[in-house]
Amino acid sequence: MTDGTTYPLFRDTNLGGRLSPFKGQWPRIAESAYVFHGAQVVGDVEIGESTSVWHNCVLRGDVNLIRIGSRTNIQDGTVIHVSTNTYPTIVGDDVLIAHMAMLHGCTLEDNAFVGMGAIVMDNTVIEPDGMLAAGAMLTPGKRVRSGELWAGSPAKFMRKVTPQELEKNRSMAEHYRRLAEQHRLDSQGIATDQPYP
């Protein structure tokens, strides 16, 4: 039974992303974050400074919470959900999550990398500078240690990350922050020609 009051179903970000409540809990988005049009963010979700959530991503914090750190990049079509009353999804700072990834009740620590189309399942951890290759499936309870590359379905340890890969991954967070800022400027009719690292 309701009192007849109408409550908003959603609010749009300044870039056209959509925020929706669950049980009265609205997402909390840092002012400098980028939530682009087509993205849906629902419920108990926090997104940190300069993090970019690209087109057609879904972050659904309904039956548990989602926490995203600063300068993290969540690329187009990624789905992030949680495990009911057991495992939230926690993502640290400067994390790279490539197109069409799926995260569910897992933890990605600072500078972790998840490749295109990869699946990260319940109660898994990717430590700092750990890499999960494109198309890989990290099955429940597994841990990618710092500096390891895992691949396959189910994912297994393949080798250590090279210094060149590590350097590239570390630079990509800033690349995507600058790219997101260019998109924001374009949305205001401001065209610049800044180079991207």
Q: What is the pLDDT of residues 61-83, one digit of tens each?
A: 999 999 999 999 999 999 999 99
Q: Taking residues 124-147, what's their average pLDDT?
A: 98
Query: Is the pLDDT at 154 greater than 60, yes or no?
Result: yes
Q: Which residues contact residue 3 at a Cβ distance below 8 angstroms, ignoring those fewer than 6 apart?
A: none
User: How far separated are the first and last CA of the chain, in Å rounded?
Assistant: 55
Q: Taking residues 135-163, what's their average pLDDT?
A: 98
Query: Is the pLDDT at 186 greater than 60, yes or no?
Result: yes
C-alpha distance from residue 40 to each of 51, 84, 123 (Å): 15, 19, 24
Query: Is the pLDDT at 195 greater than 90, yes or no?
Result: no
Bridge partners (DSSP) of residue 90 are 67, 107
86 secondary structure, DSSP code? S
Q: Taking residues 23-38, what's their average pLDDT?
A: 97
Residue 24 token pair: 């009265």
Residue scoring higher pLDDT (121 or 6):
121
Instruction: Give the pLDDT of residue 197.
Output: 46
Portion of the chain with pLDDT greater than 90, in percent: 88
96-112 burial code (b ≥16 CB/10 A, e <16): bbbbbbbbbbbbbbbbb
CA–CA gap between residue 112 and residue 116 (Å, rounded): 13
Instruction: Give the pLDDT of residue 187.
Output: 85
Confidence tier at 194 by pLDDT (50, 70, 90) = low
CB 125 within 8 A of CB 110: no
Strand 79-81, strand 143-144: pairing: unpaired
